[in-house]
A = this chain, B = another copy of it.
Amino acid sequence: MTLSGELFIGSSVVPASKGGMKALNPATGREIEPEFAFGGEAEVDRAARLADAAFDSYNRTSLRERAEFLEKIAERLDAVRQELAERTSLETGLPAPQLEAEVAKTAGVWRQFAEVVRQGRFRQVAIDPAQPDRQPRPRMDHRLQKISIGPVAIFGASNFPISYSVVGGDTASALAAGSPVILKAHNAHPGASEIQAHVIQDAVAECGLHEGVFSMVRGGGNAIGEELVDHPLIKAVTFTGSEGGGMALFRRAQLRPDPIPVFCEMTSVNPNFVLPAALAARGAEIGDGFAERMLVNVGQACLKPAILLAVDGPGFSEMRDAAAARVSAMAARPMLTPGIHDAYETGSQARRQSGAEVVTEGPEPAGEWEGRTRLLEVDGEHFVADASLGEEVFGPFALIVRFEKTDQLLEAARSFRGQLTAVMHIDEPDYKEAARLLPILERRTNRIVVNAFSHPQEVGYATIHGGPFPATTDSRFTSVGMTAIDRFLRPVTYQGFPDTLLPDALAEANPDRLWRLIDGQPTSPV
């Protein structure tokens, strides 16, 4: 595919209205062709009007039609796998084979959402049938289904340039919900974004859907994002990125005349708690596994295990040594953008000034934006006293926290803000202490892992990628997994309807063969 650098507004590609940019190869520091267009208010408005115009027909697609559309996107993703991985690697410095795997996994997610659509359980149908003889007054027939909330603006993320970008899970779950999508492409990988936008735009055309179902815009600075969040025809927003960026969008949307939901997934240090029996039995294994996971994607992952907490005792030094061996052996690698690299350097400096000591560092970087790996250590008292030590440093950085006794470790657990995940490394003798730790963690994270690391993540029905603030802006939802679709759905009740006017999901004949809650009882379609 020859990259045009243009914006995607419905079925059109449109040129820049506000200048443009070139992609940067973080491995060489050089610009890559071609020039990519920036748009502004006019393009956002056009895309939003098209999305609004597409809403009624897209929201009313049959489950089969909608599932086939999602599967078409999966097929087209498979077809561009290699090309997409290569361009993405150039723009991000991430290895092409890893990116090929990311494309394949993402295509799988689209197929999973197609299955979610076919099952139709996301409609959460409930029927309270009429009770004409009820006293003191009859009950009318009530039927509830969930439908799309309306057009959604999605901000592509920098760090997983496929699975959290144009064709990422946010887009898949929004389209599955029946929401047209306007994607704000991340400027860290514009070529990769264009290839992905083509995949969706072509699938829209091939499936004969309204062109407004998908658009992709791009801009310099914050203006284009602000215009998206402000646009009255946009009904929800998702964002994955920094706490500062996410909160600016969130607060802006809450100041609209009509506030809208903004789901931001922002920051998490994914603390790992090692209890004494597990530490004694396999400290080295835990330290090694921790560091291995910490270093994935040059530490640029929302699920990176960043803080390892344990009471000093048998196994502690083995754990530290094993982690240190991994960290010191790992060469510096290019980070995603110069800005991310600078923030990494500043952040790891600050932790040192807060009293954490360097256990080890990796080799000196050869290239300008390479992230040097770092492992620091601090005692539990310092850690609890200085909240900044519990905050994220995005990059190949981790902190070991050493406690004198378990109560201190529990106190440290209470000091954490909201997290995407927390991990307990435990053996049977630890269960009693784990039962004390568990309610502390339940209040602070939406995923608790035992004896493994939280990264990589499954994408399933029991998957949650979310958490109390500042992990996300709304702990009631997830951005990954089959229930990510719930962010974009609202319930509508149809009361006293003639069968002929009811949507398929609610019709007496149940043509989609859905599970339905009838009078409060789950009822199979057969």
Q: Verify if A435 is at the interface (C-beta below 8 Å from B).
A: yes
Among A188-196, A198-206, A370-378, A458-466, the stretch that binds chain B is A458-466
Is A33 part of the contact surface with B, judged by Cβ < 8 Å? Answer: no
Q: Tell me if A461 and B140 are in contact (CB < 8 A).
A: no
Give chain B residues whose Cβ lies under 8 Å from the Cβ of A60. 439
Per the 8 Å Cβ criterion, residues 418-471 of A in contact with B are 418, 428, 431, 434-435, 438-439, 442-443, 445-452, 454, 456, 458, 460-464, 466, 468-470
Are A128's CB and B461's CB within 8 A? yes
Bound Cα distance from A250 to B142, whole angstroms: 30
Kindly list chain B residues whose C-beta atoms are within 8 Å of the C-beta of A18. none
Contact A476 B489 (CB under 8 A): yes
Q: Cβ of A149 < 8 Å from any Cβ of B?
A: yes
Indicate if A517 sits at the interface (CB-CB under 8 A): yes
For this chain, the copies found in one complex come to 2
Cβ contact within 8 Å between A464 and B492: yes
Pick out which of these stretches binds chain B: A253-261, A352-360, A402-410.
A253-261
Residues of B within 8 A of A59 (CB): 439
Residues of B within 8 A of A482 (CB): 520
Query: Are the C-beta atoms of A464 and B491 separated by less than 8 Å?
Result: yes
Verify B491–A460 contact, CB threshold 8 A.
Answer: no
Query: Which of A75-83, A168-176, A494-502 interfaces with chain B?
Result: A494-502
* A476 touching B259 in the complex, CB below 8 Å, given contacts A142-B463, A435-B501: no
Q: A501 CA to B438 CA in the complex, in Å?
A: 9
Chain B residues, Cβ within 8 Å of A483 = 126, 491
CB < 8 Å neighbour of A431 from B126, B142, B464, B501: B501
Of listed A128, A144, A491, residue having the most chain B CB within 10 A: A491
A495 CA to B481 CA, complexed, in Å:
14
State whether B520 touches A461 (Cβ < 8 A): yes
In the assembled complex, A120 has its CB within 8 A of some CB on chain B:
no
Q: How many residues of A contact B (CB 8 A)?
A: 84
In the assembly, what is the distance between CA of A159 and CA of B474, in Å?
A: 30
CA A492 – CA B439 in complex, angstroms?
Answer: 11
Asked if A498 and B439 make an inter-chain contact with CB atoms under 8 angstroms apart, the answer reads no
Task: Assess whether B497 is in contact with A450, with CB atoms less than 8 Å apart.
Answer: yes
A197-215 interface code vs B (CB 8 A; 1 in, 0 out) = 0000000000000000000
Q: Is A150 an interface residue (CB 8 A)?
A: yes
| A317 within 8 A of partner (CB) | no
Query: Bound complex: CA of A263 vs CA of B486, how far in Å?
Result: 17
Residue pair B501, A458 in contact (C-beta under 8 Å): no
Q: How far is the CA of A500 from the CA of B418 in the complex (A)?
A: 26
The answer on a CB contact under 8 Å between A493 and B251 is: no
